[in-house]
Amino acid sequence: MRNLTVALDAFLTVLRSSWHSVRSGLVETAAWDESVLNDWAQANWEMIVEAALSREQRVVLDVYAAGADCNDPSSRVWQPELRPTHSVACRTIRADGVTRDYLTGVDVPMPAAGLRLTEFVSLTEDGWYRAEPPFDHALVDSGGVEVVVSLAEVSFVLVEAETFSGS
Per-residue pLDDT of 23-37, as tens digits, reads 888 877 877 877 889
Nearest to 143 by CA among 113, 119, 122: 113
Per-residue pLDDT tens digits for 93-114: 999 999 999 999 999 999 999 9
Phi and psi of 117, rounded to 5°? Answer: -70, 130
| Residues in contact with 126: Cβ distance below 8 Å, sequence separation at least 6, in sequence order | none
Whole-number percent of the chain with pLDDT over 70:
98
Query: pTM for the full model?
Result: 0.91
CB contact at 8 A, 93 and 155: yes
pLDDT reading at 57 higher than 60: yes
